[in-house]
């Protein structure tokens, strides 16, 4: 194997940044450019890449974040954007990058975690990562309708609206944990990523409650990806503001700790994103879900 150069933290170096983006587009179909232009690539997102002739050929990134677990704060590192150019595979480059990241960070953080797809389920245990099973949380909407609660008007937010974008950045920086059981804070760069890219059409502002809710309606199902607030919320008023008469069930993509009747929690049998943690986290509750907006 050739001695490729290892480079890191190169967000200010245009040629590496553009090469990284080109590789991400070819592997994952993600164009990071709008996120970078809006200041999303901050000091909490660091790439570790091998380069060959000034081209990024393999990468593993880290996200620095704070995890709230049963009201206690933990310093965590999440590994993501693990990719290798097809011409350079089978050379152990991903393995070297993961080893490098673990060596750099395992002493300064409480745990390292990542989400892997089906093709990598046998890869990460080699580094001491343990597979953990998340749960899904939902309630039947009919239970909600039996309660009388006020409702608020809901306004959709747009990424290309500078006022909306500024508001999202402010909410992301000042948010309170969405759950006292399991939350991620200090990850405003990830929330901005979801606003600009995957969930750009799913951000809504409820002015009377001063809260941002990320949600979608699909086939009589209401999917709530995150609730971003700077203070405590009235969850019933928020849910009643966003459900429709056709809504049959409400699904939460984080660990809710609201006092909602009939909340159902079920272990997820198979997932496109399987959680791996190092070292094993005994503090995790029996049923939990890492917020989907914190996936890097």
Note whether 61 and 152 are same-domain residues: no
Q: Is residue 56 classed exposed, middle or buried when 0-12, 13-18 and 19+ CB atoms within 10 A define those classes?
A: buried
Indicate if 235 and 282 belong to the same structural domain. Answer: no
Burial-class residue 245 by CB neighbours within 10 Å (0-12, 13-18, 19+). Answer: exposed
- The domain of 228 spans 136-267
User: Which pLDDT band holds residue 148 (cuts at 50, 70, 90)?
Assistant: low
Q: Is residue 13 predicted with pLDDT exceeding 60?
A: yes
194-205 mean pLDDT: 92
Predicted pLDDT at 152: 85
- On whether both 179 and 279 belong to a single domain, the answer is no
- The yes-or-no verdict on residue 1 having pLDDT over 70 is no
For residue 142, is pLDDT > 70? Answer: yes
pLDDT above 70: percentage of residues in the chain: 97
Residues 159 and 87 in one domain: no
Output the pTM of the full model.
0.91
Claim to verify: residue 80 and residue 155 sit in the same structural domain: no
Asked if residue 211 and residue 151 are part of one domain, the reply reads yes
pLDDT tens digits, residue range 209-260?
999 999 999 999 999 999 999 999 888 889 989 998 899 999 999 999 887 7
Given a cut of 90, whether residue 36 has pLDDT beyond it is yes
- Residue 48 belongs to a domain with what CATH number? 3.40.630.30
Whether residue 159 is found in the same domain as residue 246: yes
| DSSP assigned state of 40 | -
- Based on the fold, state whether residues 170 and 200 are members of the same structural domain: yes
Query: Are the CB atoms for 74 and 195 separated by under 8 Å?
Result: no
pLDDT of residue 69: 93
Rounded Cα gap, residues 83 and 289, in angstroms: 25
CA 231 to chain CA centroid, nearest Å: 21
> Do 75 and 220 sit in the same domain of this protein?
no
Count how many domains the chain has. Answer: 2
Q: Is 151 helix (H, G, I), strand (E, B) or coil?
A: coil
Q: Going by DSSP bridges, is the β-strand pair 72-84/111-116 parallel, antiparallel, or unpaired?
A: parallel
Question: Is there a single domain that holds both residue 115 and residue 141?
Answer: no
Mean per-residue pLDDT, 277-284: 87
Tell me, yes or no, whether 24 and 129 share the same domain: yes
93-102, 204-213, 271-280: lowest mean pLDDT where? 271-280
Residues 158 and 179 placed together within one structural domain of the fold: yes
């Amino acid at each position: 194997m050739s001695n490729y150069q290892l480079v890191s933290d190169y967000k200010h170096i245009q040629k590496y940044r553009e090469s990284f983006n080109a590789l991400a587009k070819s592997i994952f179909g993600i164009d990071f450019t709008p996120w970078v232009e809006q200041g999303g690539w901050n000091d909490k997102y660091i790439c570790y890449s091998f380069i060959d002739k000034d081209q990024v050929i393999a990468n593993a990134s880290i996200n620095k974040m704070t995890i709230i677990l049963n009201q206690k704060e933990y310093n965590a590192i999440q590994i993501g954007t693990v990719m290798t150019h097809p011409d350079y595979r089978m050379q152990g480059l991903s393995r070297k990058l993961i080893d490098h990241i673990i060596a750099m960070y395992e002493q300064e953080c409480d745990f390292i975690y990542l989400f892997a797809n089906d093709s990598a389920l046998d890869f990460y245990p080699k580094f001491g990562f343990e597979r953990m099973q998340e749960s899904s949380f939902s309630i039947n909407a009919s239970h909600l309708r039996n309660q009388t609660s006020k409702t608020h008007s809901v306004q959709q937010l747009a990424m290309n609206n500078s006022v909306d974008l500024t508001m999202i950045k402010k909410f992301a920086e000042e948010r309170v944990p969405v759950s006292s059981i399991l939350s991620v804070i200090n990850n405003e760069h990830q929330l901005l990523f979801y606003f600009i890219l995957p969930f750009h059409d799913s951000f809504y502002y409820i002015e009377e409650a001063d809260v941002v809710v990320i949600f979608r309606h699909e086939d009589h199902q209401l999917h709530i990806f995150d609730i971003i607030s700077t203070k405590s919320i009235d969850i019933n008023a928020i849910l009643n503001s966003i459900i429709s008469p056709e809504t049959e069930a409400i699904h939460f993509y984080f660990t809710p700790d609201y006092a909602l009747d009939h909340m159902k929690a079920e272990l997820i049998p198979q997932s496109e994103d399987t959680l791996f943690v190092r070292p094993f986290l005994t503090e995790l509750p029996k049923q939990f879900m890492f917020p989907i907006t914190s996936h890097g």
